[in-house]
Amino acid sequence: MLQTDVVVIGAGPAGSVAAAGLRNQGFDVLMLEKTQFPRFVIGESLLPRTNEILSKAGMLEDAEAAGFIVKHGAVFLQGEDRVQFNFRETSAAGWGHSWQVPREDFDTVLAKSAAGKGADVRFQHDVTDVAFDDDGVTVSFTDLDSGEQHQVRAKFVIDGSGYGRVLARLLDLDETSDLKYRMALFNHVTGDKRPAGDDEGYIWIVTLEQGGWIWVIPFSNGKTSVGVVADPAVFEAEQGSDAEILRKLLLQEPSLKTRLADMQFVWDKPRRLEGYSKGIRQLYGDRYILTGNASEFLDPVFSSGVTVAVESAWRAQEVVGRYLRGEAVDFEKDYAEYVMSGVDAFRAYVKSWYAGDLQKIFLTNTRAESIKKKICSVLAGYAWDETNPFAMYADQSLKSMAEMVSNGVSE
Ligand SMILES: Cc1cc2nc3c(=O)[nH]c(=O)nc-3n(C[C@H](O)[C@H](O)[C@H](O)COP(=O)(O)OP(=O)(O)OC[C@H]3O[C@@H](n4cnc5c(N)ncnc54)[C@H](O)[C@@H]3O)c2cc1C
């Protein structure tokens, strides 16, 4: 039987960062990925904190060499109103930019980078079972090319299987999300008339009149990702094919009428995803840890998915490394509580957004520069910053701000 120190399930950003970190510590890693890369996955707009983790992992240069478009921030638009958050204007001393990435390219770069550090990366390898015992874990998988079943013996498993949710399914860890069921309809387009200069790479987040919102994410390959996120009823209320509905919802917004007037869809049929918010009962157990989307996933609105994936993966490889060296590890405190503190900060922003409070704060309170910087820090992915009350006490901070705005206090 194959032997290794750690099996990593899935070669998305979480898996690759965990694998690279463990290799940096000198452990043997087998990373099993179900698909053949490059493969499409949604989640194309990154936050500066991601770059920082890639730098720690020694993967930044590989990602930089791929030539992704630089994202300096986010623009929120509602009717005729707009507010721009520039990642260089934050309260955290962190990165001032990130990238917009076609994920088939980005994830391939990261998987290669992990392999370059000595991780044994195997594509078309579908993990089907795990069996834990006192001495380790046996992971079963199918080689999808040959159809053969295999097993590997390891000391620990890190789950980075994203939407596959391998351990959550096998160990019955799923929990209903506390966020509402929503749907996304999206496509890649050409013909996007982008703003010039540094503004080109900003993500646009446009409030949809019917409720919900639109993303516009430009890539360096000339294509732009566009999508609508809303309650399924918003889409059902429209007539026509998915392509017609997507076109109509995009072009009804005043801020997109000109920008997207000449757009051509790249895929004949837009893609749909729904019910993607997931909860989880626990983030770790005896000899396993869940990272990224294999654990909890909130909502795409603040592009936090990949950041949470790499942040949790980075933390996971640290604690697993300590465990494998025989050091004391408090998985609850050192892993679960840490990861959840950032996830809960993002949760507060997501809830405030769908309650309509955050838009009010953004659009009516932009004169309070010090507060804007603190909020911008979280939007840049610095959701684990203990010095920022808008991260550590996000829920209370946003609620008080919303109340002040409602009472007409703007600074
Ligand atoms: C509509 C929408 C828009 C989004 N937009 C953004 C955004 O702009 N920015 C952002 O940061 N995030 C965004 N996200 C979230 C983002 O998609 C995820 O958070 C991110 O991809 C998580 O990375 P990961 O490494 O955990 O998992 P993934 O990227 O999903 O990678 C998991 C890998 O595991 C593999 N796998 C699955 N099952 C198995 C198995 N049985 N055996 C072996 N391998 C397996 C999969 O093939 C996959 O390659 C969005 C999500 C949605 C729903």
Residue 78 lies inside a defined structural domain of this protein: no
- Do residues 161 and 308 both lie within one domain? yes
Which of 252, 274, 296 represents a domain boundary (last residue)?
274
Residue of minimum CA distance from atom 35 in ligand 1: 10
| Same-domain pairing of 135 and 284 | yes
Q: Are 10 and 131 in a shared domain?
A: yes
162 pocket-lining for ligand 1 (C-beta < 6 Å): yes
Q: Is residue 90 part of a domain?
A: no
Of 7, 34, 101, the residue with max ligand 1 atoms within 8 A of its CB, to mutate for a pocket test, comes to 34
Do residues 27 and 120 both lie within one domain?
yes
Nearest CA to ligand 1 atom 16: 43
* 339 burial type by CB count under 10 A (0-12 exposed, 13-18 middle, 19+ buried): buried
Q: Find the CATH number of the domain harbouring 102.
A: 3.50.50.60
156 Cα: distance to centroid of ligand 1 (angstroms): 22
Residues 167-221: tens digit of each pLDDT? 999 999 999 999 999 999 999 999 999 999 999 999 999 999 999 999 999 999 9
164 and 190 in one domain?
Answer: no
Same domain, 372 and 225: no
Asked whether residue 148 falls in the same domain as residue 293, the answer is: yes
Residue 408 is predicted with a pLDDT of 76
The residue segments making up the domain with residue 261 are 183-274
* Number of structural domains the chain divides into: 3
Residue 48: what pLDDT?
A: 98
Q: Looking at the structure, do residues 113 and 253 belong to the same domain, yes or no?
A: no
Same domain, 290 and 369: no
| Beta strands in 291-338, from DSSP E residues, in sequence order | none
| C-alpha radius of gyration, the chain, whole number | 21
Q: What is the CATH number of the domain that holds 215?
A: 3.30.9.100
Q: Is residue 22 part of a domain?
A: yes
Which pairing describes strands 264-265 and 203-207: parallel, antiparallel, or unpaired? unpaired
359 in a structural domain? yes
Residues of the chain with pLDDT under 70: 365-367, 409-411
Please identify, among 243, 258, 274, the residue that sits at the C-terminal boundary of a domain: 274
**CB 317 less than 6 A from any atom of ligand 1:** no
> 33 with 120: CB under 8 angstroms?
no
Is residue 104 domain-shared with residue 170, that is, in the same domain? yes
Please state whether the predicted TM-score (pTM) of the whole model is above 0.95.
Answer: yes
Pocket test for ligand 1, best of 16, 42, 100 (most atoms within 8 A of CB): 42
- Whether residue 77 lies inside any domain: the answer is no
300 within some domain: yes
Do 162 and 113 lie in one domain? The reply is yes
Q: Identify whether 196 is part of a domain.
A: yes
Q: Is the CB of 139 under 6 A from ligand 1?
A: no
pLDDT of residue 19: 99
Rounded CA-CA distance 212/249 in Å is 11
- End-of-domain residue from the set 223, 244, 274: 274
Considering the domain architecture, whether residues 204 and 230 belong to the same structural domain is answered as yes
pLDDT number for residue 366: 52
pLDDT of residue 84: 94
Residue 57 domain flag = yes
The string of DSSP letters for 10-40 reads --SHHHHHHHHHHHHTT--EEEE-SSPSS--
